[in-house]
Amino acid sequence: MADRRDGDPAGRGRVVEAPAGAPEPAGPAGPATVPGGSSAATALRRDEGAQLPAAAEPPGDARAWGVVVVLMLIYVNSFLDRSILSLLVDPIRDSLQISESQMGFLMGPAFAVFYIVAGIPLGRLADLVARKWLVFWGQLAWSVMSVGCGLVRSFAPFAALRMGLGVGEASLSPAAYSMITDLFPRHKLARALSVYGLGISIGAGLARILGGVVIRFTEEVDSIVLPVLQREVFSWQLVFFLVAAPTIPLSIALILMREPPRRSARAAVAGAAPVQAASATLGETLRYVWANRATMACHSFGMALLSFSGYGVGAWLPSHFVRNLGWSRAQVGVVLGVVMVITGVGGMLFGGWLADRMHQRGVRNGKMRIALLSCVAWFPFGIVYPLLDDPWLVMAVYAPAAFIGAMPWGIGPAVVQEIMPNRMRGQASAIYLFVINLLGLGFGPQILALCTQYVFGGATGVRWSLLAVPVAAHALSAVLLLLGLKHYVRSLDRLAARRAAG
């Protein structure tokens, strides 16, 4: 029995069954030829002619979850690598004798610009090559760059290595999103992508915990001699060797992992061997994104504003605890890191579970609804915690804000995966990541810093920046996500019609 989905005025699009005997959509389980006389193999080369029947959907079994866990651990390593500088500002500045603006360049543009720019061609590559090997070589590259950061003695090579780190890390998420989408049915996809997204919270939290430990260590030891290289390095540089170490077991796991078959090639037609769908060109992908421009714009910029808020708060909340609440950076790193790991993991898993439940109930735009819900529910906590003066009370109110703020980050990529044909997913993911990282990584910390310096009177004014900027970002995000609900359903209908047309 085929099932079709109606788009009711509220945009809920409940599932309705087609009458018995209604024709099934064209797809790989159909006859060996398709309308127009094309061969089944030719139809499979086109993603829109490769829709899976329900029985052929990927099962999301234990092997699939194993792939997700490996990719999540790599994402933890990636986020740990990119975030570790936030609590090492003072030791790095003192050791390398660099300015505040140079330190800002290392934390922001040196990484972010190259991460963002490299994402588009690497997303294209994810649609062309075996994705596990793209992740393998990307991880190897960024780990080499991390080790290099543990050996530098001046600003210029440090900046060059941070640029290389950005290029290497840009290989991961487009390939990971595509692989996970090919391994899970739609009613499990949000949970699977949420588990992968745990790398954000765990990596950022571990970066702060590790940073706090390193700060205590640097207060006692200025430099150490590496036992193998017999080279003296600053004590804070040891952390870069530590974050590169997991590359070895994770690389072995990638080698042993089977490349997931692209879903359009999964089903055989009339006994024919599976045929891989050819990757779409960048022009084809951009035209399809343009056809769905309302959905992509509302979703990508809505999520980008949440990223803008999150990166800004992540960069400057530790300074608020130090400047206004009397904590040391070491204490902030450990306590805030633990809170980020617990609330981030809980929030992402809850958001993914809730979105999948809504999908099972037939709410077609449920994933974007959850993002909107989390955006609105954040306000009571996000407004209050910057106004409080007791550090433990601030942390207690910040914790639910962080939990709620983490809910959409597994759901966000799932929206893009659902509205794009298989052969365009890597490139579409790269476009989505380009937007959210350009606004989040590129501008979030800088805008908060500018507001602190020029609007709120200097260092202690960071409290008011943490209030004003995230509130404005969440308000704009809520408007965009609300507008995007009906367009999301239309994009799902457009993809279904494209596949049925074959």
C-alpha triplet 37, 42, 47: angle, nearest 5°: 115
Q: What percent of the chain is modeled with pLDDT above 70?
A: 84
Is 40 part of a structural domain of the chain? no
Describe the chain by its helix, strand, coil percentages, rounded to 5: 75, 5, 25
Cα 69 to Cα 197, 287, 308: the distances in Å are 10, 34, 27
Assess if residue 439 is contained within a domain.
yes
Per mean pLDDT, which range of 163-177, 270-284, 385-399 is the poorest? 270-284
pLDDT at 203 over 60: yes
Give pLDDT, residue 11: 42
Instruction: Round to whole Å and give the CA distance between 28 and 26.
Output: 7
Strand partners, 3: 17
Residues written for the chain? 502
14 pLDDT more than 50? no
pLDDT of residue 498: 87
H-run or E-run covering 41: helix 40-45
Is 37 within a domain?
no
Residue 354 lies in a domain: yes
Cα–Cα distances in Å, from 496 out to 49, 401, 427? 10, 37, 20
Whether residue 297 lies inside any domain: the answer is: yes
Here the CATH number for the domain that contains residue 137 is: 1.20.1250.20
463 vs 16, more confident: 463
Does the residue 161 lie in any domain? yes
> CA Rg, the chain, in Å?
24
Give me 333's structure tokens: 């790193």
Q: Give, in order, the Cα–Cα distances in Å from 116 to each of 38, 56, 430.
A: 40, 36, 9
Q: Has residue 127 got a pLDDT over 60?
A: yes
243, 268, 339, 342 from 347: Cα distances, Å: 25, 39, 12, 8
Specify if 357 maps to a domain.
yes
| pLDDT winner (highest mean) among 101-110, 213-222, 413-422 | 413-422
Total-model pTM: 0.76
Structure tokens at 365: 């735009």
Q: Is residue 435 assigned to a domain? A: yes
Q: Where does the pLDDT of residue 36 fall: very low under 50, low under 70, confident under 90, or very high at 90 and above?
A: very low
Residue 274 pLDDT = 40
Q: 444 pLDDT band (50/70/90 cuts)?
A: confident
pLDDT band of residue 211 (cuts 50, 70, 90) is confident
Q: Could you list the residue range(s) of the whole structural domain that residue 253 is in?
A: 61-262+291-501
pLDDT band for position 468 (50/70/90)? Answer: very high
Lookup: tokens for 172 = 């991961």
At residue 54 the predicted structure's pLDDT band, cuts being 50, 70 and 90, is very low
Number of structural domains the chain divides into: 1
Rounded mean pLDDT, 422-438: 88
Tell me which H or E stretch contains 15.
strand 15-17
If DSSP codes are grouped into helix, strand and coil, which group holds residue 115? helix
What digits encode the pLDDT tens for the residues 256-297? 999 988 875 444 333 334 444 556 788 889 999 999 999 999
- HSE, CB side, 13 Å, CA atoms: give it for residue 189: 26
